[in-house]
A and B are shown apart, each in its own frame.
Chain A
Amino acid sequence: MQRRTLLKLSAASAAVLIVAGGAAALLQPGLKGGVLSDAGREVFSAVGRAVLDKTLPADDGARQVALQGLLTRVDILVQSLAPHAQAELSQLLALLASAAGRRAFAGLSQPWPEASIADIQHALQDMRLSALALRQQAYAALHDITAGAYFSDSSSWPLLGYPGPLKI
């Protein structure tokens, strides 16, 4: 990418963030009572589908159960985060759950529940390689929380071939 294009892109993204950030007070927070709000669940459910695409069970029913399990584990993980990290994650999820934020920040035109896995993966990849630090940070948070939470439960260990700790 040319430096000029890159700068233009950064400036545009930054402007959108300021607008979206200014309206953050009007958005639904991503966390409520220390766990995912409906908005937060919507984002993590979609991100979970995309990040764990090949890893989730193929069967639709089992897949839904696994995704519910993921959301429960994200809730547990979020509860143990430091207050400042909870506040930041709540703002990030609020932004992503809003239509304007989703389009500008994630580059996703469809609402999260309706977006295809390919579209969500494309959005994640854009954030991952973005020149804007905030978007890179957002990708890292979504990716690491999703993968870490999913494999925090022994039900997911067979896929890894991990037998679990030795009994002592």
Chain B
Amino acid sequence: MSQLKDPIREGLARGWKVMGGPHGPVPEKITCDVAIVGSGAGAGVTAELLAKAGLQVVIIEEGPLKSSSDFNQKESEAYPSLYQESAARKTEDKAINILQGRCVGGSTTVNWTSSFRTPASTLKYWQDKFGLSGYSVEALAPYFAQAEQRLNITPWLVPPNENNDLLRRGAAKLGIPASAISRNVKGCWNLGSCGLGCPTNAKQSMLVTTIPAALDMGAQLLVETRAESFELANGKVTALLCRSSRSSKKKTALAQMGNGQVAIKIVAKHYVLAGGAINSPAVLLRSGAPDPHGVLGARTFLHPVVMSSSVFEQKVEAWSGAPQTIYSDHFLDTQAIDGPIGYKLEAPPLHPVIFASTVPGFGQGQHDLLKSFPHNHTLLALLRDGFHDESRGGQVKLRGDSSAVLDYPLTPYVMEGGRRALLSMMEIQFAAGARQVLPLHELAQPYTSWAQARDAVNVLPLKPMLTRVVSAHVMGGCGLAGNERQGVTRPDGVHWQLENLSIHDGSLFPTSIGANPQLSIYGAVNRLAQGLAKKLAGRDVTLA
């Protein structure tokens, strides 16, 4: 357990209004100016700005309130307590494992701090194809700048760890440009445990920035409280229905499913849905929200990720040091955005559980790979989905128990991008001096030369399930559009059919971003929330 100061426990001691879970029961009825569903990137920015405008804000978070005193850098505790479905959320066909946060701060509490503004090419596509003329580099620039200042997003000047430097060196040998990633940290200890909750409060997540700011201004936070559905009447939301999401270890799966009593009713003047992609569309689906054009939950994107694992003579210790500090956009920038799918390259951190469950197979081969852990270097490619007719993303649906599930077909177009990405990553790893390289595919073997690896991957069947595909970036499903036929949400963030409902999270994006999305959410939502504050309270407020 961290012995450092814990700003959350200090805030609680100061009298923050936090209820739910261990913080005491939530009343059956709450009235407020604005109810915000979620506490992640979009919700946090919105909560701070609306509270600053003098509005009474209630934040509803499904996950628990955990903080630096709880963050012990262990996967066995972090995954069940901080991630959606214990970090085992999967697409409907189980071909893609999805990492998303489920705690106060949402995914910002567990992400790897990579911060990029929305690429100009992505914004251009939105302007051209979705009627989003206001979403230009120039118009968004001041909102990004404020978010960067508020969250201390700056280039990471510390030398990269070996895991990231291998990407830099390998790419350089091949003449592929690679650059440093900006990070939202202040006084970072370079531990490498960002994904397990920052134990030193260096990461400027929503947990330690905007949410505390909102609570200090009198906002209420309901934790372990799940937003179930909206009550709707005459084109407006009239109430938000919630229930306790606290699960008892003694309960069986069946008992938990039967525990669906709606216990809490929140009545607000305005509602902000920011539960993250997959969950936000699911709230609207459960509510029977109007969807005259069949776009709700559609076009949900993942940046499907393929990976190449390699072994070096020297120690890499990919668990140690700031994660993801070097990237390459070479394979995004060198082809048309609506041509063959492009991909971004990054070097993820590795920890025992995620590493061991990802090492393919069993027996001697698996054992050898497990033993190589300190020498292992893995690269990942984020495939830029959503810019082509054969990459229309997935559809959020509800299961019989009303939980959300994403049906995301991995099309041949996407998987062929996966093949090119595997080839690029393997070539870089060999160029960096890898002794062996293993693309994560059930039919692949460790290869000891680039020629051998290239020939093998060129004929591998790049099928879902056989190819290991993961995602940590869920986007879309309540897409922005300049007309109601193309999206769920108006350019000002308000639902096209429900006038007192705004959507302020990654579900807004009409395509994937083509970069780690946290700063895209901060920037876009910063502008939307400032507009909302002006509309509801008549006041000009800013983040920074």
Contacts and interface: CB of A to CB of B under 8 A. Distances in A.
Given A33-B252, A160-B371, A168 B363 contact: no
A43 to B, nearest CB: 15
Interface in B336-379: 351-357, 359, 361-364, 366-367, 370-371, 373-374
Contacts of A23: none
Interface string A131-144: 00100110011011
B421 to A, nearest CB: 21
A55 B370 contact: yes
A118 to B, nearest CB: 9
B252 A151 contact: no
A136 B401 contact: no
Contact of A51 (B4, B362, B466): B362
Contacts of B254: 83, 87
B465 interface: yes
B390 interface: no
A147 B373 CA distance: 14
Interface in B74-103: 74-76, 79-80, 85-86, 88-89, 93-94
B110 to A, nearest CB: 15
B353 A161 contact: no
B14 interface: no
Nearest to A162: B352
A153 interface: yes
Contact of A81 (B88, B199, B319, B359): B88
B403 interface: yes
Contact of A34 (B252, B367, B370): B252
Interface in B126-148: none
Interface stretch (A12-20, A99-107, A121-129): A121-129
Contacts of A129: 442-443, 466
B73 interface: yes
Contact of A82 (B250, B251, B366, B403): B403
Contacts of A95: none
Given A76-B76, A133-B93, A84 B356 contact: no
Nearest to A118: B363
A166 B200 CA distance: 12
Contacts of B364: 53-54
A168 B249 contact: no
A82 B371 CA distance: 32
Interface residues of B, number: 56
B72 interface: yes
A6 to B, nearest CB: 13
Given A82-B85, A133-B465, A166 B191 contact: yes
A34 B251 contact: yes
A69 to B, nearest CB: 13
Interface string B2-13: 111000000000
A161 B465 contact: no
Contacts of A137: 93-94, 465
A128 B467 CA distance: 11
A66 interface: no
Interface residues of A, number: 50
Contact of B363 (A53, A80, A136, A153): A53
A159 interface: yes
Interface in A141-168: 141, 143-145, 147-148, 150-153, 156-157, 159-162, 165-166, 168
Given A82-B85, A168-B189, A168-B191, A159 B370 contact: yes
Contacts of B401: 83-84
B353 A152 contact: yes
A52 B359 CA distance: 12
B310 interface: no
Contacts of A82: 85-86, 88-89, 403
B319 A162 contact: yes
B88 A85 contact: yes
Contacts of A156: 352
B257 interface: yes
A148 B370 contact: no
Contacts of A93: none
Contacts of A136: 465-466
A140 B370 CA distance: 17
Most buried by B among A133, A136, A137: A136
B179 interface: no
A31 interface: yes
A28 interface: no
Given A85-B85, A168-B189, A50 B362 contact: yes
A164 B157 CA distance: 26
A147 B361 CA distance: 10
Interface string B435-455: 000000011000000000000
Most buried by A among B256, B405, B465: B465
Nearest to B4: A168
B507 to A, nearest CB: 20
Given A81-B86, A140-B465, A165-B193, A151 B356 contact: yes
B118 to A, nearest CB: 32
Interface string B233-254: 0000000000000000111111
B253 A148 contact: no
Given A86-B253, A137-B94, A143-B357, 18 more contacts: A34-B249, A34-B251, A53-B367, A79-B249, A80-B79, A82-B86, A82-B88, A83-B257, A84-B405, A128-B361, A128-B442, A129-B442, A151-B355, A152-B75, A159-B371, A160-B356, A162-B319, A168-B189
15 contacts: A31-B253, A32-B252, A33-B250, A50-B363, A53-B364, A55-B366, A87-B253, A121-B362, A137-B465, A148-B354, A159-B370, A159-B371, A161-B374, A162-B351, A168-B200
Across the A-B interface, give the 8 residue pairs with the lowest CB-CB distance, nearest first: A165-B73, A80-B80, A54-B367, A148-B357, A86-B253, A151-B356, A152-B76, A160-B373
